[in-house]
Amino acid sequence: MMAVTEWVKNWNSADKTLASAAALFVVALITKISIPNNVFVECFLFVTEAALVGGVADWFAVTALFEKPLGFPYHTAILPNRREEFIVAATHLVEREFFSRKKVFSMMEAVDLRTPLISWIKNSDVKNDIKNELMRLIQGYAEPFDCSLTAEKWAGELRHAVLSVPLHEVMERFRCWLVGGRDREIIAQASSFIRSRVETDEARDNIKTMLQKIYDDKMEGAGLLGMFGSLFAQAFDVVSIDDMAEVIQTEILRLLDEAGEANSAIQTRMLSVFYDYFDKVAIDPALDEDFAKLKCNVIRDMPIEDTIGTALLIIKNSMTDGGVPAGIGEASIHGAIQTLTGEVAESCLSILESDPDVQKVINVLVHDVVGRSALEAREMMGAVTNEVMAHLTDDELNRIVYSKIEPDLLWIRMNGSIVGAIIGFALYAIMTMAKYL
């Protein structure tokens, strides 16, 4: 009796519903035998019979999904017999439905990946790793670099570029460089420099010496009369060399001050004269020919290959820790490159934090990378799902599937009895009304 009680306690709601329908059917059948030809008893029996049939039919259908009910062999134990198709379908569900491309990328777009990325990059260790990685990339590029071959190539290109430039083009470029304020600035600086030399006592003495020489030469060329005039002028102080030198110095200083003044008349006049002469020189055939000869002589004698090769070798050795020639600051060059890589990393981080266009590009890139990684992972998830389910026994597979949908299956069985009873009542009512019509 205790065993039966424990067995009944293990029944689920669907089993209890089916047992209730069977019990009511037995009661109805006994009542029918005891009280024949009673409409209510016949209706009760019809309803319980329909409920019992519906409950048994749905019990059979649900049980047939997982095993053979009552040993019935035809189209039963559906899941064990179709386990290969079921595993393939489950694998496909994991790969294509749970991790579909649309769902993966939609999920990635909803996640802010830029903020944790910036926080991660801001970490000092990460920034050092980035700097070191940049240095390794530079060293990896510099290691196989052929300095001699590159120097020869660059020297040839430089010679060709210099020799192919005509005089008028050089003059035109120089004129473009001057125009725009540099020409007036040069005149102002030159005026200031010359003024600092002219305003000294030494300059005034030089002017005085020059005037005295001119005066003496003139007097000697004038003969006896000239000598007499010179003595007369000196005796009565008619001509003062000192005063003349001071006047000339003062006038020169005034002109220099005016020339150094921005947009002054004398400055404009000087530039006008300069550019007139400049334009004539630029188209002078003889000067152009001399310029071409000068270029050939200079380029031919210059050790361009050696200079470029030495410079490239110094840079290469400083980047690859190979050492540099004596007297060259290897530490400073290597440190400058490290500083540059650090500044590049900081600049990139600053742009990443402040530039909305860059942020948009980074978001798209990160989301795309993560999304594609997730899409690659779904193949692995599918393989894992297939591998795990393939090693399950039929009972384990049944138990896993049944545990996930047990409430629905129980309601299917209970609905069989409930719907059967309703349909039975409706059919009996229709049959009874048809009998009396």
For the chain, the domains span: 13-81+404-436, 87-111+357-385, 183-283
Instruction: Dump pLDDT digits (tens) for 319-371.
Output: 665 444 444 444 566 667 777 777 777 777 777 667 777 667 777 776 666 66
> Whole-angstrom Cα distance, residue 434 to residue 408?
38
pLDDT greater than 80 at residue 417: yes
Q: What is the pLDDT of residue 191?
A: 87
Tell me the average pLDDT across 171-199: 84
**pTM reported for the whole predicted model:** 0.41
pLDDT top residue among 318 and 32: 32
Instruction: Dump pLDDT digits (tens) for 119-137.
Output: 766 666 666 777 777 777 7
Q: What is the mean pLDDT of the chain?
A: 76
pLDDT greater than 80 at residue 182: yes
Helix residue ranges per DSSP H, 35-77: 39-64
Tell me the average pLDDT across 163-188: 82
Q: What is the pLDDT of residue 208?
A: 81
- Given a contact cutoff of 8 angstroms between Cβ atoms, the answer to whether 51 and 417 are in contact is yes
pLDDT greater than 80 at residue 415: yes
Tell me the average pLDDT across 17-41: 88
Helix residue ranges per DSSP H, 164-264: 167-178, 182-198, 201-221, 223-235, 241-260
Q: What is the pLDDT of residue 314?
A: 76
pLDDT greater than 50 at residue 35: yes
Rounded alpha-carbon distances, angstroms, from residue 396 to 70, 112, 392: 21, 41, 6
> Whole-angstrom Cα distance, residue 26 to residue 343?
92
Tell me the average pLDDT across 58-84: 82
Q: Which band of pLDDT confidence, cut at 50, 70 and 90, is reported for residue 238?
A: very low
Rounded alpha-carbon distances, angstroms, from residue 288 to 170, 274, 291: 11, 19, 5
Tell me the average pLDDT across 246-268: 85
pLDDT top residue among 300 and 178: 178
Q: What is the pLDDT of residue 324?
A: 47
Q: What is the pLDDT of residue 406?
A: 83
